[in-house]
A and B are shown apart, each in its own frame.
Chain A
Amino acid sequence: MNPRSAHIGQIPPEEVYASLHSSPQGLTSSEVTERLIHVGPNLFEVVDRWKLARTMGRQFTNFFAILLIVSAMICFIAHRINPNEGMGVLGWALIVVALLNALFSFIQESRAEKAMEALKKFLPHLVEVCRDNRISRIPASGIVPGDVVVLSEGDKIAADLRIVASDGLMIDNAPLTGESEAIRLTSQMQDRGLEECENIGFAGCAVVKGTGRGVVFATGLRTRFGHIAQLSQTIRRTGSPLEREISRMIRILTTIACTMGFSFFFYGVVSGKPLWMNLVFMMGIIVANVPEGLLPTLTLALVMGSLRMAKKNVLVTSLNAVEALGAVHVICTDKTGTLTLNQLTITRMVEPRSGVAMLPEREQELATLAIAASDIHQTADQLLGDPLDVAVAYKWSNLGLGTLATVQQQVVRSFAFDVEKRRSGGIVNLAGRRLFVVKGAFEAIRPMVSVVGPDKNIEEKMLLAEQLAASETVMQQMAAQGLRVIAVAYRQLTVEESETIPDEAGADSLEHDLILAGFLGIEDPVRPEVAPAVVKCHTAGIEVVMITGDHPATALAVATKAGIVAPGSTTYLTGEALKRLTVEALVEQLQQGVRVFARTTPEQKMKIVTALKHMDRVVAMTGDGVNDAPAMRAADIGIAMGKHGTDVARESAQIILLDDNFASIVDGIEEGRTVFENMKKFTSYVLVSNGPEILPYLLYIVLPVPLALNIIHILSIDLGTDLVPSMGLGQEPVDPEVMRKPPRNPSQNLLTRQLMVRSYCFLGLIEALWALFLFFFVLFSGGWHYGAVLDASSPLHQSATGITLSTILLMQIGNLVGRRYEFRSGLDPGLFSNRLIFAGILIQIIFSWAILYWPPLARALNTGPVAAETYGLAWLGIVIIFTIDYLRKVLVTRRENGVAPPGRDDV
């Protein structure tokens, strides 16, 4: 073995067997057994027996679940002490809420890992191996390092192999490299890195042609494909900003609820109140403080958001991605198909020496020659063939030269594109002459050229070398503009040559003394909607990073056209440079404005994600290939291409672009930001009703007064009447301002101190005071006097609690309208502009009436009727809360800005 050999690809084929302790006859069964025990079966799944149990356990160990379960326990204890108060029912209700919440989250989290299923499609079930000098088919899971695998056309490769014999072996490496062109594998040693060696067959790839033999050197998760599989399964997605925010919010509200509940429980015990009363009180405080309906409303808002996104071709597979997309700071996007149309188009046809655009008649000549060297098949509705040939055909048609069939009839022979020669050709009869035409890369055609075509724009008396140098310059200039340059050359065949039509191999003899006819400039045009979308991103403070495998010049040209970089920018990083950079150095490069990564491999996306996350950015990463899956999982948001993406990419992503269009991502971001803004609105709305829910309990414990609201009343608000209005706020339309602000700071909270003070101590207090005023108004009007004990089932108490509940419901209407805008009244867009808000208002009105005057509901809630005038006073509450809130908005606006600028609404 060569001492410098660093891996199996760098040693000669005859030494491979010895290096892997194998032989051409294959392993013996005892060797197989030993190796199987040591390295394990050739499996690609990461086994985690406890994953489901852990996921389920997590659902019952969060603050919210613990709170609900503890509350339920207290209810059951209370029910045991005093069975007539219906606390048992409440306990079961809380258990059901806890279970439903846990079940919902569990389903979300443990959504079957379909990515692995998609990956498995690339692997074979059976493999042909040589063992004990016999060839047999065995399950792919049973192969071990040292096994000799026999490969033939159509086989999928089960493990990483060092090829030791090859007979025209062509492998499709697309699952690993994304390259659609098959590569020819050899058995000869190569002095390259393992990944680049063309004597290695990688697991997950397929044999498209030929036969061969390979010796296994890595199996299962140790193969290159296994690395992708492992990362796709084990990389833990970072919790979305919303997940973190919700858990923080729950933690705060739970802490407040429990602190208040237990404090006043002990106060009650110390002040000598009965245990039963203290327990009821504690439960009331806790239940009143926890907005039980908030989590379902948040979920519903996300569902609604995802449905709206779907209409914009953005399919969401994980609900949290809806909001996370709105929080994105950086979009890392592919080029082909996402920024561009993935449709090659000839945009320039130039003279070969001067580089001047051709005149129409010259364009026609060049197009006709090019079509003679193309291989296209026309069906009823489309053109089939190599994308470059199709582009030539479209150009030819656009020049109005007739039908394609007419020119194809004159083509007597086509020579298919040769990967190694980098050119295609054809023989065509044109204007009574028989011409041999070649079309391909200039470097490939240049050695055959003896004359560079006539050019009116330039002096004719030039030496061939000068002519070619001029053409080289033209070609370089076109390439620098991001164009793919194709040269077209031809020559008239001699009489002798015209008599015989050569086969594929015979074309070689014709390739000399060609006349360079011109250059075709081909590009994949940038989608028209991309540039405005990028502008929108920049306005919204979102950076766009382009990652492509293309040449830097092409990448920069597309990035400039898309507006990702300024015209004239030459800042980019290649994959090679990226490989040499540390993460810290890459961070510096990104900070200095590198936005284009060219000649990169999908694996390098991971490094870019790591660097961006190091910069505290929320990253969205697009991808379509199998090997994009790990980077998409590592990013905050993985975005897969729906049209051209692989199943693996789609299953690894949280978002699928149905039209592969970059502009759709931006639409999704707008929607995501709107969802967050709306969440703030309904969180604020929901918390306001906590004020009038808590205050009656505080009065009840410190003063000799009846309880104004029982726990069922609180739940009827939180889990009943508040739900539809909250959903209405969650459905508020997109505000154009939302994309003129920078992305929200990840530390910006849904639940701020300001919001809590306003909800509990201002709006909540107003609601509480007016509701309690009417409660005592009804009590005093009914003959109750301060300190008197009033039975909960007495009609007077029922009427008083009825009006309290009814007032809260009605005042929530004023609160609802006010929450639509931070600084505007909320009436300006009209109450009918949002159907759910209108429905919510109707529900509040109907319930406020029904709990007083509809006996079945009144019985269920233990409420009773009041005089119509008193009910009228409850309606006055709407005006009170709305007016005072609006005055506050005006004052705050004036204090901050003097006068409120029109349209200002920084929620």
Chain B
Amino acid sequence: MDRRIVLAHDGSINADWVARYAVQMAVALPSQRLLLLHILDGSLTRNRIEAKFASIAAECQQHGATCQSLILEPKGDVFTSLLHAIPSGKQSYCLCGTRVNPKGRGFLVGTIAERLLRCARFNVMAIRVVSPGLLGCPRTLLFPLAGHPRGFEAARPFLQMLAASVKRLYLLRVMMVNPLHFRYISDVATKKRIATGYDYLNRIVSEIRQKTAGVSWHLDCHVVLSDDWAKEIVVQAGKINAAMILLGATERNLPSRFFYSSRTEQILRTTPCDVGTYRKI
């Protein structure tokens, strides 16, 4: 079965902006198909959603992609309805927006996007768009890596789908140091950690070059030593004038997820550019 993009559109302006990404990514697939999906939760009328979908469909057509739309009545809550509607499996890519939590707790925590990321039934990318003027075409992509042995494997399909827009792919490895130790870390220890980071990134760069042969992006990498990785990612995004940060969602246990997600929230809140949080099954 061909890979297929499903845009879980919640009717918000962010979802409208995320649709640009969905169109661009759908065009990159061999099937060039996009499924628009909305669960009627009462916040918007069917007509309003249909109008939005029509506009997205027109854009799809301009790009030569085919678009299908599905507006469904909820079966249970919205999340459950989405699980029913989105085909499970590795070929399914769900795109959704990170919408501000109604309780004001953040952009991901407690949202449907977070539940989709955790459900592990299909691949998910939750996008927060803050620069709609980029039209879903991130030219410079910041890709922070946490040092996972799998390297960029989890991000590979998403990177490939964004490859047509991305001209510069910037890999970042933040080598973490305990805040108390960070103040006293020696030059030797700093250099050792930085070298470890570069060893890792150089390996990933080779892998990316090998596995995305034919993509003409400009690859660069950078390692920084820090006691606050979230802040460092935001700073680096500003430094390289990134159009998007591609962030892997945590697969950790509950206690670390508690701290980890607060860091992700920090990035989503203070980001100078769009942020895509992905999870591959």
Contacts and interface: CB of A to CB of B under 8 A. Distances in A.
Nearest to A586: B220
B103 interface: no
A11 B59 CA distance: 13
Interface stretch (A228-236, A333-341, A453-461, A563-571): A228-236
B131 A218 contact: yes
A355 interface: no
A231 B239 contact: yes
A529 to B, nearest CB: 34
Contacts of A583: 220-222
Contacts of A79: none
Contacts of A146: 13, 132
A1 interface: yes
Given A21-B13, A218-B130, A230-B272, A1 B187 contact: no
B208 interface: no
Contact of A1 (B27, B62, B184, B273): B62
B235 interface: yes
A580 B238 contact: no
Given A1-B62, A3-B62, A18-B55, A38 B133 contact: no
Given A39-B130, A46-B270, A248-B184, A3 B64 contact: yes
A70 to B, nearest CB: 17
Contact of B137 (A7, A39, A746): A7
B16 A19 contact: no
B-side interface size class: 35 or more
Nearest to B234: A234
A162 B131 CA distance: 12
A227 B220 contact: no
Nearest to B63: A3
Contacts of B219: 582
Interface in A486-529: none
Contacts of B188: 747
A38 B13 contact: yes
A-side interface size class: 35 or more
A31 B99 CA distance: 15
B12 A217 contact: no
A62 interface: yes
Contacts of A644: none
A160 B130 CA distance: 12
B234 to A, nearest CB: 7
Contacts of A251: 184
A247 B184 contact: yes
Given A18-B55, A222-B130, A251-B184, A34 B273 contact: no
A352 interface: no
B16 to A, nearest CB: 6
A752 interface: no
Contact of B239 (A34, A193, A584, A634): A634
Given A19-B135, A217-B132, A616-B191, 15 more contacts: A5-B135, A11-B135, A21-B13, A38-B14, A146-B132, A222-B272, A230-B238, A230-B272, A231-B235, A231-B238, A234-B231, A235-B235, A582-B220, A584-B220, A610-B239
A-B interface, 10 closest residue pairs, ranked by CB to CB distance from nearest: A217-B133, A8-B133, A582-B220, A6-B137, A3-B63, A231-B238, A222-B130, A227-B238, A230-B238, A218-B131
Interface of B: 12-14, 16-17, 27, 55, 59, 62-64, 99-100, 130-135, 137, 139, 165, 180, 183-184, 186-188, 191, 218-222, 231, 234-235, 238-239, 241, 270-273
Interface of A: 1-3, 5-8, 11, 18-21, 31, 34-35, 37-39, 46, 58, 61-62, 145-146, 160, 162, 193-194, 217-218, 221-222, 226-227, 230-231, 234-236, 239, 247-248, 251, 580, 582-584, 603, 606, 610, 616, 630, 634, 746-747
